[in-house]
Amino acid sequence: MIRHIVFFSAKPGIEAETIRDGLMKLADIPSSSHFEVALNSKVDPWSSEVDIVVYAEFADEAALAAFKTHPVYAQTTNRVRPMRELRLSADFTADI
């Protein structure tokens, strides 16, 4: 299984909820076995830069690649990119 985690921060003046709502469109892509978008609770006293977290699970690299090449992915990226400042992404293979 591939776990896909992406962290976003909102540009000044942009509500994190607006970005979260835009990213929720990615749930319409059928490639993931699990998909969620959440606001960061910001309870870590040393790091509060992240506003939104995307977490998804994919059966394999092919499913992740299908997700990233789906038309909804491109539409969502185009919509969200102007509103975000930070974007960090990590993908890793996990044993179930």
Please identify every stretch of the chain with a pLDDT value under 50, giving residue numbers as ranges: none
pLDDT digits (tens, 9 = 90+) for 7-26: 999 999 999 999 999 999 99
Amino acid identity for residue 36 in this structure:
E
For residue 35, the model assigns a pLDDT of 98
**Residue 36, C-beta contacts closer than 8 angstroms, at least 6 positions apart:** 54, 55, 56
Measure Cα distances from 24 to 14, 21, 46, 94 in Å.
17, 5, 28, 24
Which helix H or strand E contains 62, and what residues bound it?
helix 61-69
Q: Output the pTM of the full model.
A: 0.92
Which residue type does 48 have? S
For 15, what's the count of Cα atoms within 13 Å in the CB-facing half-sphere? 4
